Structure 1
Amino acid sequence: MKRDAATLLYGNAVAGIAITLLTSSFLVFAFSYPVIDVYKLVWWCGMFTLLLIRSIDTLWWNLKLKHSDFDGEASVKRFAFGANITAIMWSIYLIYSTTHSNEMELTSTIIAVASMAGGSVAVLNAHKFTTLFFPFALLFPGSIALLLSGIYSLQLLGILGFSFSIVILAIAKKSADFTLHTLFLKNENSVLIHQMEEKVKQRTQKIFELSNIDPLTGLYNRSAFLNQLKTLTLSPANSFALLFIDLDGFKKINDVNGHKIGDEILRNTATRINTFTEDSSFVCRWGGDEFLIAFISKQIKRLQAIGVKVSMDDFGTGYSSLSVMQDLAVDIVKIDRSFVNKLDNNENAIISAIMNISSSLNFLVVAEGVETIQQEKVLLELGVHYLQGYYYAKPLEVGHIKGYLDENYKQTSR
């Protein structure tokens, strides 16, 4: 509201300053020519200086503050101070003119001052105190001076000025009240409109969430995820990788610990997935304990940078070739068991070559199908990082896993 008031006041400042300068110059120089009253000249110099300062302030406000988030209250106070000092300057001039001007000059001065008092109501009504003070300062002191002059004609002008000032003050009060009320309603309407827009945004967001967001995890639901994928497939330039995540054993957790614990696991899983995915990726709870991730990036290295590991299975067979290994920048390569089975015949050149490549390309090697101690010895000598096979353990039922782990822990602890 204060900022709107400052905008109104400064919007009328240029015209007000120009009229004040023109009127003051006319009254001082037109009636005193060719001999100018020294007091009036000093007064005019003071008025000119004041108007110059106000002009600079107005120019600064229009250039620097008008289109910024300025302090409305400070701007209004600064403008009101300048306007009220101007009113005091006019009051001094009128009082002086009652005893140092001829009848024609005094009459012209009263008409000019009264006109400015009436016009001020229209240009200052955004600030109530200034709207009332400006015409009061222009008319009341001068009217009193005329009433005390002892000259009948001047006393009549004093009565007329006193009566006119009362009428002007009444009009000024109504005008200021009306303007301030209008500004209040304008700002109140702006607040109401803003609140309504916020409510519409909130309800729109709520509708979107109900139709597109999984309420438990906060991820896209299946429908929204498919719509996003359809949008991606419209352009041949778009490419993405689709990852499927399934939580093994989740049903047993639900059955044993209850749905509350299960829901907490799903929420934590969604949070962790979001932590390691980019903003441009789409994450979806497909249903139950299944999650889908669409990585928009087509560069595997960017996926690896956020923690995605690329593993090549059964190297040496099918599509698991050296070119694929280089193109995918794999993290782990698993050697097919067919190469391990030939170790007994000392055909280990391929595995040795793979280890040399792993050192150059910085990936880990897993050898599968280890069944004898001789195979283990050769593979370890070749520097293979991980071994697996029946030599270490055969497939176990769930109930036997704990016993197996406990037994191996005791052996390694000795």
Structure 2
Amino acid sequence: MLYQNSIGGILVSLFAATMLVFAFDSTNLASFKHTWWAAMVVVIVIRFIDSIWWRIKQKGQEYDGRRAILRFITGTFATAIMWCVYCLGVYASADTVELASTIIIVSAMAGGAASVLAAHKKTAMSYSFILLVPFSVALLLSSDDYRQVLGVLGISFGLVMSISAKKAAEFTSQAIRLKNENALLVQHMESQVEKRTRKIYELSNLDPLTGLFNRTAFLNHLKSTLNICIEKHQPMALLFIDLDGFKKINDTIGHDAGDQILTQTALRLKEHCKDQQLLCRWGGDEFLIALPNTQQSAAVAQAKTLIDFISEAYLFDNAQLSLGATIGISLYPQHADNELKLIQLADMAMYHQKKRAISTSGVFSKELGSMLMREQFLKDGLARALENKELSLCFQPIMASDSSEICAFEALLRWKKDEENISPVEFIPIAEQHGLIRKIGTWVLNRSCIVAASWPKPIAVSVNVSVSQLQTDDFITIVEEALLASGLKPTLLHLEITESVFSFDKDIMIDRIKILQSRGIKVSIDDFGTEYSSLSVMQDLAVNTVKIDRSFISRLDSSGLAIVKAVINIAHAFDYLVVAEGVETKEQAIALQKLGVHFSQGFYFSKPIIEQDVASFIKKPCIKLTEQSASITS
């Protein structure tokens, strides 16, 4: 404040000094006045230079305020003393007009100092005192009445100005203090607002666990980046990252370990992502990275590097945890020019790659898109297939090898949608994958029992049971309810399971199979030899029948013969019955009969028969291969 107002005060002092020295002709004081004016100009120039230097070098900067104030008040007191010297030097010889003009000018300058110097109380009070009081005392001691009157007025005005300067300085000091207090308050409020703004930003844009951008923020950044790539005709790659084995860590060790894994994974991804705005946690254990100006080969290489980095051991409670990552890649402009579509396609590529080979990367393709669209079409159709009455059953006879009599029928599921007959090979895996097989399997079981109960004579029906069906706790109840509702005898129900069930909890599966057998229900291992076959499974399982897969029967005249012989020998050792699937020729049927196969099934005997024609087929005479007879229900 002192320096801010200094230029005006300095110029006023220069103007007043010049007017008093050169406006009044005092021949006897000319030398004194000119000398005084020169000295005053020197003081004023020094003060002016100091003020200009402050404005250029110190204003707005951090500096030693005490030294600056000392410089300022030194110049101010020098000016006040110079005015005091002038007044005392001319008062005795000046005429009335010059004397009156002098006291008016110094009084005015004292009055102005009360406000101009208000930032420094002592200086403001002293300035007015030095200008007026010595001069007024000298006038008061004069013998002339008018000089005494001027002295009284000067002393009075000097005292009043000193008091006014004191009050003005105190008011200014209080105002400055309040201003600083308000500034601190405003600063604190701004700090709080900034913290809340930052918190709101974090809540709306950042994932609270990993600190990565969330979906909303990432989509905005991805859209902007994609638009830039479109404008500049640059490619872009999008990586959809899904951790392999994360669910197992969460389920076995706990969610704390899972959270630490996600946090460490986020840190690893940050190291390999140049632009943090193009990295996000999409949800769960899924992450996305956008790579602008990146071609397919570079994206695949980057994905390989990320997989290797993510697959390095994680530390948790002084233990090392391992997991991998599968990455799907979509590209602009090859696959899509929309950020949501790119994400969808990368997700599809990741999902497909995870089924093919986990902890690898795969690039989306049109062929993959067509395949996945077909899969989605089948999935959506299967969800409504029962209510739309699109599912039906066919039955293929299982014949006794020695008598060629019908011993059972295998129930085969068929699906006709929009005049298209869809193969079970295509839709059964989709039903299993998307959790639809339990509902469909329950329908097949119930319908098979109802149809078998209506046949003209008691013949067993064989029904395929999926792994997920057998895993459900209420499966035994479902089977019992199907038998009760249809009236079919338990001994006429055969359940076919695949060896893959024993890749899960073998003890639970064996217990359930034993419960089914205790009810009189027969159990078969379907497609034996293609999956988890082992002597220990054969020993523990205690099933009734083993079905040899058709792939071995088709190569009966070559490599398949040895496998068929081995399976038959093992089955006979455990006292299991043997069914050969996929018998297409008479030669195969006779050869299998000679090898000791108990039952045969295939196109040589009959193709699958629709539900309505089974009764008439049962009444037809059977093909006779030998004169001996056996029963599958024995």
TM range (shorter): 0.5 to 0.7
Describe the shift of the 1:283–1:71 C-alpha distance in structure 2 as closer, same or farther (beyond 3 A): same
Residue type at the aligned position of 1:71: Y
Letter in 2 for 1:272: R
Matches within 5 A, 1:97-112: 97-112=90-105
Map of 1:221 onto structure 2: 214
Please, what TM-score do these two structures have when normalized by structure 1? 0.64
Match of 1:13 among 1, 6, 25: 6
* C-alpha distance in structure 1 between counterparts of 2:293 and 2:260, whole Å: 30
Structure 2 partner of 1:79 = 72
- C-alpha deviation, 1:97, in angstroms: 2.7
Q: Percent identity?
A: 47
1:43 to 19, 36, 47: 36
Cα distance in structure 2, aligned partners of 1:49 and 1:250: 85
Contact 1:281 1:296 in 2 (8 A): no
State the SS of the aligned residue for 1:44. Answer: helix
Matched, 1:259 2:227: no
User: Are 1:138 and 2:134 an aligned pair?
Assistant: no
In structure 2, the CA distance between the partners of 1:281 and 1:240, relative to structure 1 (3 Å rule), is farther
Q: Is the 1:281–1:295 Cα contact (8 Å) retained in structure 2?
A: no
The answer on 1:275 being equivalent to 2:271 is yes
Moved more, 239-248 or 85-94: 239-248
Larger CA Rg, structure 1 vs 2: 2
State how far apart, in whole Å, the 2-side matches of 1:287 and 1:103 are: 96
Q: Which residue identity lines up with residue 69 of structure 1 in the other structure?
A: Q
Is 2:67 the partner of 1:95?
no
Identify if the C-alpha distance between structure 1 residues 26 and 300 changes in structure 2 by more than 3 Å, giving closer, same or farther: farther
C-alpha contact (below 8 Å) 2:135/2:151 kept by paired residues: yes
The alignment yields a C-alpha RMSD, in angstroms, of 3.2
Alignment pair present for 1:156 and 2:149:
yes
Q: Which runs of 5+ in 1 are unaligned?
A: 312-396, 398-414
Cα distance in 2 for residues equivalent to 1:17 and 1:305? 75
In 1: Cα distance, 2:304 partner to 2:90 partner: 92
Structure 2: which amino acid aligns with 1:276?
H
Aligned pairs (5 A) from 1:266-305: 266-279=262-275, 281-298=277-294
- In 1, the alpha carbon distance for the partners of 2:296 and 2:111 equals 79
Deviation at 1:162, TM superposition (A): 1.3
For 1:49, give the aligned amino acid: V
**Equivalent residue, structure 2, for 1:168:** 161
Q: Which amino acid aligns with 2:271?
A: T
Which residue identity is paired with 1:41? Answer: H
- 1:259–1:309 distance in 2 versus 1, CA, 3 Å: closer
The question of whether the paired residues in 2 share the 8 Å contact of 1:135 and 1:165 is answered with: yes
Name the SS for the 1:69 alignment partner.
coil
- Pairing 1:115–2:128 present: no
Contact 1:277 1:306 in 2 (8 A): no
1:206 is aligned, of 194, 199, 208, to 199
Shift of the alpha carbon at 1:166? 1.4
AA of the residue aligned to 1:126:
A
Please tell me the residue identity of whatever aligns with 2:183.
Answer: S
Conserved 8 A contact 2:226-2:236: no
Contact 2:239 2:303 in 1 (8 A): no
Distance 1:62 1:142 in 2: 35
Equivalence for 1:69: 61
CA contact (8 A) 2:87 2:135 kept: yes
Q: Is the 8 A contact 2:242 2:286 kept in 1?
A: yes
The answer to whether residue 187 in structure 2 is matched with residue 194 in structure 1 is: yes
In structure 1, the residue matched to 2:53 is 60
What is the aligned length?
305
Change (3 A) 1:173 1:264: same
Distance 1:141 1:191 in 2: 45
Query: For the residues of structure 1 that align with 2:126 and 2:293, how far apart are their CA atoms?
Result: 70
CA distance in 2, matches of 1:107, 1:187: 44
2:219 counterpart letter in structure 1:
L
Moved more, 129-138 or 293-302: 293-302
**Higher deviation after alignment, 95-104 or 85-94:** 95-104
Q: Which amino acid aligns with 1:144?
A: V
Where structure 2 has 5 or more consecutive residues not aligned to the other structure, the ranges are 308-502, 504-634
Deviates more, 1:214-223 or 1:44-53: 214-223
* TM-score normalized with structure 2 length: 0.43
Q: The residue matched to 2:91 in structure 1 has which SS?
A: helix
Cα deviation for residue 299 of structure 1 reads 6.1
Q: Supply the distance in 2 between the matched residues of 1:27 and 1:258 (Cα, whole angstroms).
A: 94
Task: Give the counterpart letter for 1:181 in structure 2.
Answer: Q
Check whether the contact 1:10–1:79 (CA below 8 A) recurs between aligned residues.
yes
Assess if the C-alpha contact under 8 Å between 1:145 and 1:158 holds in 2.
Answer: yes
Which structure has more helix as a fraction of its residues?
1
Q: Is the 8 A contact 1:139 1:165 kept in 2?
A: yes
Cα 1:223–1:24, aligned 2, differ >3 Å: closer, same or farther? closer
Residue 33 of structure 1 deviates from its aligned partner by 4.5
Q: State the one-letter code of the partner of 2:134.
A: P
State the match for 2:242 in structure 1: 246
Match of 2:15 among 14, 22, 25: 22
- In the TM superposition, residue 309 of structure 1 has moved relative to its aligned partner by 4.0
Shift of 1:43: 1.9
Cα distance change on mapping 1:39 and 1:305 into 2, 3 Å: farther
Secondary structure, in 3 states, of the residue corresponding to 1:277?
Answer: coil
Structure 1 CA distance for aligned equivalents of residues 304 and 54 of structure 2: 57
> What do residues 131-156 of structure 1 show as CA deviations (whole Å, max 9, x unaligned)?
21211111122223333445554333
SS at match of 2:244: coil
Q: Deviations over 1:63-113 (max 9, x none)?
A: 4444x4253825444333322221121122222233454444333322221
Matches of 2:14 and 2:75, distance apart in 1: 14
Counterpart secondary structure, 1:116:
helix
Q: How does 1:356-367 map to 2 (within 5 A)?
A: none
Cα deviation 1:10-30 (Å, max 9, x = unaligned): 343232222211221222233
CA distance, structure 2, for counterparts of residue 107 and residue 247 of structure 1: 97
> SS at the partner of 1:247?
strand
Per-residue CA deviation, residues 266-289 of structure 1 (Å, 9 max, x unaligned), is 111111211221136511112222
More strand by share: 2
Q: d(CA) in 1 for partners of 2:235 and 2:202? A: 27
3-state SS, counterpart of residue 3 of structure 2: helix
